[in-house]
Protein backbone atom coordinates (compact mmCIF):
# COMPACT_ATOMS: atom_id res chain seq x y z
CA UNK A 1 0.00 0.00 0.00
CA UNK A 2 1.37 3.37 -0.97
CA UNK A 3 0.97 5.95 1.83
CA UNK A 4 2.13 8.95 -0.21
CA UNK A 5 -1.09 9.39 -2.20
CA UNK A 6 -3.14 9.41 1.05
CA UNK A 7 -0.92 12.09 2.55
CA UNK A 8 -1.09 14.06 -0.68
CA UNK A 9 -4.90 13.88 -0.69
CA UNK A 10 -5.06 14.93 2.97
CA UNK A 11 -2.65 17.78 2.32
CA UNK A 12 -4.63 19.02 -0.68
CA UNK A 13 -7.86 18.79 1.30
CA UNK A 14 -6.35 20.78 4.17
CA UNK A 15 -5.08 23.40 1.70
CA UNK A 16 -8.53 23.69 0.07
CA UNK A 17 -10.22 24.09 3.46
CA UNK A 18 -7.74 26.75 4.56
CA UNK A 19 -8.30 28.64 1.29
CA UNK A 20 -12.05 28.48 1.91
CA UNK A 21 -11.60 29.93 5.40
CA UNK A 22 -9.45 32.77 4.06
CA UNK A 23 -12.07 33.58 1.43
CA UNK A 24 -14.69 34.03 4.16
CA UNK A 25 -12.57 36.67 5.90
CA UNK A 26 -13.26 39.19 3.11
CA UNK A 27 -16.43 40.67 1.67
CA UNK A 28 -18.43 38.62 -0.78
CA UNK A 29 -19.57 40.04 -4.11
CA UNK A 30 -22.86 38.67 -5.43
CA UNK A 31 -24.87 39.16 -8.60
CA UNK A 32 -27.06 42.25 -8.36
CA UNK A 33 -30.64 43.02 -9.34
CA UNK A 34 -32.49 46.31 -9.75
CA UNK A 35 -35.19 47.31 -7.30
CA UNK A 36 -37.18 50.52 -7.03
CA UNK A 37 -38.58 52.38 -4.06
CA UNK A 38 -40.81 54.89 -5.82
CA UNK A 39 -38.47 57.01 -7.96
CA UNK A 40 -35.38 55.69 -6.21
CA UNK A 41 -33.32 52.99 -7.94
CA UNK A 42 -31.54 50.36 -5.86
CA UNK A 43 -28.74 48.07 -7.00
CA UNK A 44 -29.14 45.12 -4.63
CA UNK A 45 -26.80 42.17 -4.47
CA UNK A 46 -28.93 39.05 -4.07
CA UNK A 47 -28.11 36.68 -1.19
CA UNK A 48 -30.07 33.45 -1.78
CA UNK A 49 -28.12 30.54 -0.31
CA UNK A 50 -27.60 29.88 3.41
CA UNK A 51 -23.87 30.72 3.07
CA UNK A 52 -24.53 33.92 1.13
CA UNK A 53 -27.13 35.03 3.67
CA UNK A 54 -24.87 34.14 6.63
CA UNK A 55 -22.01 36.26 5.24
CA UNK A 56 -24.21 39.11 3.99
CA UNK A 57 -22.39 42.44 4.07
CA UNK A 58 -19.72 41.30 6.56
CA UNK A 59 -16.23 42.78 6.15
CA UNK A 60 -17.41 45.38 3.60
CA UNK A 61 -15.77 48.77 4.20
CA UNK A 62 -17.80 50.83 1.74
CA UNK A 63 -21.03 50.59 -0.19
CA UNK A 64 -22.40 52.90 -2.88
CA UNK A 65 -25.16 55.39 -2.06
CA UNK A 66 -27.91 53.37 -3.79
CA UNK A 67 -26.43 49.91 -3.25
CA UNK A 68 -27.55 47.26 -0.81
CA UNK A 69 -28.19 43.58 -0.32
CA UNK A 70 -31.49 41.73 -0.68
CA UNK A 71 -31.73 38.54 1.36
CA UNK A 72 -34.19 36.06 -0.15
CA UNK A 73 -35.42 33.14 1.95
CA UNK A 74 -37.35 30.07 0.76
CA UNK A 75 -40.06 30.33 3.41
CA UNK A 76 -41.78 33.17 5.23
CA UNK A 77 -40.61 33.38 8.83
CA UNK A 78 -39.71 35.93 11.48
CA UNK A 79 -36.31 37.00 10.15
CA UNK A 80 -33.73 38.32 12.64
CA UNK A 81 -30.45 40.00 11.71
CA UNK A 82 -27.38 41.12 13.62
CA UNK A 83 -24.17 42.92 12.72
CA UNK A 84 -21.32 40.63 13.77
CA UNK A 85 -18.26 41.36 11.55
CA UNK A 86 -20.25 44.04 9.70
CA UNK A 87 -18.30 47.28 9.53
CA UNK A 88 -20.93 49.60 8.01
CA UNK A 89 -23.91 51.09 9.87
CA UNK A 90 -27.00 49.77 8.09
CA UNK A 91 -30.75 50.20 7.90
CA UNK A 92 -32.73 47.03 7.37
CA UNK A 93 -36.18 46.76 5.79
CA UNK A 94 -38.20 43.61 6.26
CA UNK A 95 -40.30 43.13 3.13
CA UNK A 96 -43.46 41.09 2.37
CA UNK A 97 -43.81 38.97 -0.77
CA UNK A 98 -45.64 41.79 -2.58
CA UNK A 99 -42.87 44.33 -1.82
CA UNK A 100 -44.61 46.03 1.11
CA UNK A 101 -42.17 47.23 3.79
CA UNK A 102 -43.25 45.56 7.05
CA UNK A 103 -40.81 47.40 9.32
CA UNK A 104 -37.44 49.21 9.18
CA UNK A 105 -34.71 49.27 11.80
CA UNK A 106 -31.25 50.84 12.14
CA UNK A 107 -28.33 48.58 13.07
CA UNK A 108 -24.99 49.50 14.63
CA UNK A 109 -21.76 47.99 13.26
CA UNK A 110 -20.19 44.96 14.94
CA UNK A 111 -23.01 44.31 17.40
CA UNK A 112 -24.96 41.15 18.13
CA UNK A 113 -28.28 42.86 18.92
CA UNK A 114 -31.18 41.14 17.13
CA UNK A 115 -33.28 43.17 14.69
CA UNK A 116 -36.36 41.17 13.70
CA UNK A 117 -39.26 41.41 11.30
CA UNK A 118 -42.59 42.42 12.85
CA UNK A 119 -44.25 39.52 11.00
CA UNK A 120 -43.09 36.58 8.85
CA UNK A 121 -41.35 37.67 5.62
CA UNK A 122 -39.17 36.13 2.90
CA UNK A 123 -37.22 39.28 1.97
CA UNK A 124 -34.87 41.57 3.86
CA UNK A 125 -33.14 44.60 2.30
CA UNK A 126 -30.05 46.13 3.90
CA UNK A 127 -28.95 49.62 2.83
CA UNK A 128 -26.57 52.25 4.22
CA UNK A 129 -27.95 53.59 7.50
CA UNK A 130 -30.50 56.35 6.95
CA UNK A 131 -31.12 55.47 3.29
CA UNK A 132 -34.85 54.77 3.83
CA UNK A 133 -35.41 57.75 6.17
CA UNK A 134 -33.68 60.23 3.82
CA UNK A 135 -36.05 59.17 1.03
CA UNK A 136 -39.20 59.15 3.14
CA UNK A 137 -39.61 55.38 2.81
CA UNK A 138 -41.53 54.03 5.79
CA UNK A 139 -43.52 51.00 6.88
CA UNK A 140 -46.23 50.37 4.29
CA UNK A 141 -44.18 51.67 1.33
CA UNK A 142 -43.91 49.37 -1.68
CA UNK A 143 -40.69 48.18 -3.27
CA UNK A 144 -40.77 47.08 -6.89
CA UNK A 145 -38.66 44.53 -8.72
CA UNK A 146 -38.62 40.97 -9.96
CA UNK A 147 -38.65 39.28 -6.51
CA UNK A 148 -41.93 41.05 -5.71
CA UNK A 149 -43.65 40.20 -8.99
CA UNK A 150 -43.28 43.73 -10.47
The domain segmentation of the chain, as residue ranges, is 27-148
- Residue by residue, pLDDT tens for the chain (150 residues) are 444 444 433 443 334 333 344 345 679 999 999 999 999 999 999 999 999 999 999 999 999 999 999 999 999 999 999 999 999 999 999 999 999 999 999 999 999 999 999 999 999 999 999 999 999 999 999 999 999 987
What is the rounded CA–CA span in Å between residue 115 and residue 94? 10
Q: Report the pLDDT value the prediction gives residue 26, as an integer from 0 to 100.
A: 79
Backbone φ, ψ for residue 63 (5° rounding) = -155, 135
* CATH number belonging to the domain at 27-148, selected among 3.50.50.60, 3.40.718.10, 2.60.40.1180, 2.60.120.1140: 2.60.120.1140
**Integer Cα distance of 145 and 21 in angstroms:** 34
pTM, rounded to two decimals: 0.83
What pLDDT sits at residue 150? Answer: 72
Amino acid sequence: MNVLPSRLVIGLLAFALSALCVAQDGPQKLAAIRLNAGIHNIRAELAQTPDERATGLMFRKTMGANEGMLFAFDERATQCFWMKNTLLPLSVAFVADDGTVVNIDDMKPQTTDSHCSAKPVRFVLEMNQGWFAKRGIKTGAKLQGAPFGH
